[in-house]
Chains A and B, each alone.
Chain A
Amino acid sequence: MTLSVNDVKQIAELAYIKVSEDEAKATLVQLSDIFNLIETMQTVDTSQIEPMSHAQDVVQRLREDVVTESDQRELFQSVAPQIEEGLYLVPKVIE
């Protein structure tokens, strides 16, 4: 598999990370090496194997439907970059 600088930029766009042309080029070299390493996975036939998502074969525990949380807005917003009237402010959302 070969990646292009354009691929790197597209992935960065999906990941919402701004990359310059130079960064994309440098990243391409490293990613290509890493993907070569990853490609070694393809040497093993896994057609009969079930994917393993979790380390333990257990099922989801369920929480009872009760309200346990109270208002902590002031505390939580003490670390917010920008707030007003209890709202988190962001550059204008255009729909």
Chain B
Amino acid sequence: MFNDSLKQLSKRLADREISSVELTTEFLKRIKQLNPQYNAFITVDDEKALAQARIADQKIATDKAIPLTGIPVAQKDIFCAKGWLTTCGSKMLSNFVSPYDACVIERFNQAGAVNIGKTNMDEFAMGSSNETSFYGPVRNPWDVAAVPGGSSGGSACAVAARMAPVATGTDTGGSIRQPAALCGISGIKPTYGTVSRYGMIAFASSLDQGGPMAKSAEDLALMLNVMTGFDARDSTSLQRETEDYMRNLEKPLSGLRIGLPKEYFAEGMSSDVEKAVEQALGEYRKLGAETLEVSLANSSLSIPVYYVLAPAEASSNLSRFDGVRYGHRAKAYENLGDMYRKSRAEGFGAEVKRRILIGTYVLSHGYYDAYYIKAQKLRRLIAEDFKRAFTHCDVIMGPTAPTVAFDIGEKSSDPIQMYLSDIYTSGASLAGLPGMSIPIGFGEKNRPVGLHIVGNYFAEARMLNVAHQYQLVTDWHQQAPDL
């Protein structure tokens, strides 16, 4: 049952083979059993979860169930959920019980899903290893010595360790895709503007995008059907016709043109990752796809550009955490200014402070043009590279991360090495394009490798089709760590 797909679980619920309360109880038990070691959840609330499960059971009993009714969903602790502690992985919000629901949470509630718990994450989503969390690192279910990736590391771990059937994540520069890859699961960051950011605690507003993490592309499609849609409370939410992300899953891939950016395959990728990617591409050719070389000439600049724009926006977004209206307030202070400075110094961890400082600097007088404006111009060049590439191909493929999961502590003292984990994912974020990662095998130390698939704007259904067809002929996505 823990390995079941959403369709299978829904069928069990519909057939009254199991109730949502029973299902929820099973997952809660598994969390109790595994979480002490893996630390994937910050908050688990049996009572709240079971209350939702009971409501779901009533819906099922009266045939009012829709897809996801009664299904436990792990929610990244970046989504505000009314009555739930919502920490964003930070000491700053370690006492923040959200008085309102994020749009994403509302949508899951409306669907009748069960919030099984709030997952651990890098503090304010800043990190690629989950080591910056105030609540301690999350461990990779495939190898407890390894990081799960980040920032949605708790969600990735929860799905990989089967503590939840599916989870939500958010992705600013790779925070869904990289942990999905490192934990051997599937994850998709949709087109910017597709999932409402309302109630999703902001890191870098122009890049942040919520998305699902699951075992398979099919499950991702079901999740996207719930998560996406216009929300008037988010000015960047796009007004589009509702789409069914399941609609293209079964289409054959013959004629699919896969673009392979020559810059990605040039250097930096470790050999085990390269091997797995080559094998996956071989599988795609067998499925009737053709591969061709494309160029993303400015891709090497995506990390520098990202590390100007994201910290700049973050430095401003995180100014609201001042200990006045909510959140951490220093115990002792001399005056108002001291209260601010101490509360912020105590409430934020090292990486968050580092990024606030970078952002403050690049926006400050005299540096704005040289850094911020320059980065925004390069952002356009990076987006145009993708645009050009998509005139030749339908999807772009490459590795999600340059290496398999690294060890806990291995890169935590070297920010630059850590930042380079997002080298393949940050480009699509800057362009606002949808990107996903699916498991394609194992590399060094038997740690998972992910394939990165980038599609054109709003091509999610096509990408899910591309991933699903691969998952029909392979079983990497069904492999689970033996826990």
A and B found bound together: yes
Residues on A lying within 8 angstroms of B by beta carbon are 7-8, 11-12, 14-19, 27, 30-31, 33-35, 37-42, 44, 46, 49-56, 58, 60-61, 63, 72, 75-76, 78-82, 88, 90-94
> Which residues of B are found within 8 Å of A94, using beta-carbon distances?
335-336
Most A CB within 10 A of own CB, among B315, B319, B340, B361: B361
Pair B357/A12 contact, Cβ less than 8 Å: yes
> Which residues of B are found within 8 Å of A38, using beta-carbon distances?
304, 307-308, 362, 371
Interface residue count on the B side (C-beta < 8 Å): 70
State whether A54 and B325 are in contact (beta carbons under 8 Å apart), knowing that A18-B342, A31-B354 are contacts in the complex: no
A85-B329 Cα distance, complex, nearest whole Å: 20
Question: B367 CB to closest chain A CB, in angstroms?
Answer: 9
Pair A27/B354 contact, Cβ less than 8 Å: yes
Residue B97 lies at the interface, judged by CB distance under 8 Å to chain A: yes
Pair A46/B377 contact, Cβ less than 8 Å: yes
Pair A58/B307 contact, Cβ less than 8 Å: no
6 A-B pairs whose Cβ atoms sit less than 8 Å apart in the complex = A27-B353, A34-B354, A42-B370, A55-B193, A55-B430, A79-B95
Closest B residue to A30 using CB positions: B415
State whether A18 and B378 are in contact (beta carbons under 8 Å apart), knowing that A12-B357, A40-B301 are contacts in the complex: no
Pair A37/B379 contact, Cβ less than 8 Å: no
Residue B21 lies at the interface, judged by CB distance under 8 Å to chain A: no
Residue B77 lies at the interface, judged by CB distance under 8 Å to chain A: no
Residue B381 lies at the interface, judged by CB distance under 8 Å to chain A: yes
> Which residues of B are found within 8 Å of A11, using beta-carbon distances?
357, 360-361, 364
Contact of B315 among A15, A56, A60 (CB under 8 A): A15
A30-B342 Cα distance, complex, nearest whole Å: 22
> Which residues of A are found within 8 Å of B236, using beta-carbon distances?
54, 56, 58
**Contact bitstring B5-32, A, C-beta under 8 A = 1, else 0:** 0000000000000000000000000000
**Contact bitstring B244-288, A, C-beta under 8 A = 1, else 0:** 000000000000000000000000000000000000000000000
A7-B326 Cα distance, complex, nearest whole Å: 30
> Which residues of A are found within 8 Å of B361, using beta-carbon distances?
7, 11, 31
Pair A51/B380 contact, Cβ less than 8 Å: yes
Pair B305/A41 contact, Cβ less than 8 Å: yes
Contact of B193 among A27, A56, A90 (CB under 8 A): A56
- Contacts A17-B357, A54-B432, A91-B333 supplied; 17 other A-B pairs, CB < 8 Å: A11-B360, A11-B361, A15-B357, A16-B319, A16-B322, A17-B353, A18-B344, A38-B304, A39-B304, A44-B301, A46-B374, A46-B377, A58-B193, A61-B239, A78-B97, A80-B326, A81-B325
Contact of B99 among A30, A46, A56, A76 (CB under 8 A): A76
Residue B375 lies at the interface, judged by CB distance under 8 Å to chain A: yes
Pair A53/B376 contact, Cβ less than 8 Å: yes
**Contact bitstring B292-324, A, C-beta under 8 A = 1, else 0:** 000000101101110110000001000100111
Contact of B377 among A7, A17, A50 (CB under 8 A): A50
Residue B116 lies at the interface, judged by CB distance under 8 Å to chain A: no
Question: A59 CB to closest chain B CB, in angstroms?
Answer: 10
Question: A68 CB to closest chain B CB, in angstroms?
Answer: 10
Residue B358 lies at the interface, judged by CB distance under 8 Å to chain A: yes
Question: A70 CB to closest chain B CB, in angstroms?
Answer: 13
Pair A53/B206 contact, Cβ less than 8 Å: yes
Contact of B329 among A16, A82, A92 (CB under 8 A): A82
> Which residues of B are found within 8 Å of A50, using beta-carbon distances?
377, 380
State whether A40 and B304 are in contact (beta carbons under 8 Å apart), knowing that A17-B345, A79-B97 are contacts in the complex: yes
Most B CB within 10 A of own CB, among A19, A27, A51, A94: A51
Closest B residue to A47 using CB positions: B377
A53-B319 Cα distance, complex, nearest whole Å: 20
State whether A63 and B333 are in contact (beta carbons under 8 Å apart), knowing that A18-B341, A38-B371 are contacts in the complex: no
Pair B235/A61 contact, Cβ less than 8 Å: yes
State whether A55 and B206 are in contact (beta carbons under 8 Å apart), knowing that A41-B305, A80-B325 are contacts in the complex: yes
A78-B387 Cα distance, complex, nearest whole Å: 48
Residue B356 lies at the interface, judged by CB distance under 8 Å to chain A: yes
> Which residues of A are found within 8 Å of B307, using beta-carbon distances?
34, 37-38
A51-B371 Cα distance, complex, nearest whole Å: 11
State whether A61 and B193 are in contact (beta carbons under 8 Å apart), knowing that A15-B356, A90-B336 are contacts in the complex: no
Residue B373 lies at the interface, judged by CB distance under 8 Å to chain A: yes
Question: A50 CB to closest chain B CB, in angstroms?
Answer: 6
Question: A75 CB to closest chain B CB, in angstroms?
Answer: 5
Contact of B192 among A19, A55, A79, A91 (CB under 8 A): A55
> Which residues of A are found within 8 Å of B71, using beta-carbon distances?
none
State whether A72 and B99 are in contact (beta carbons under 8 Å apart), knowing that A14-B364, A17-B353, A44-B381 are contacts in the complex: yes
> Which residues of B are found within 8 Å of A14, using beta-carbon distances?
360, 364
Pair A51/B336 contact, Cβ less than 8 Å: no
Closest B residue to A76 using CB positions: B99
> Which residues of A are found within 8 Å of B378, using beta-carbon distances?
41, 44, 46, 49
Closest B residue to A62 using CB positions: B235
> Which residues of B are found within 8 Å of A88, using beta-carbon distances?
324-325
Closest B residue to A82 using CB positions: B329
A11-B41 Cα distance, complex, nearest whole Å: 34
> Which residues of B are found within 8 Å of A91, using beta-carbon distances?
333, 335-336, 338-339
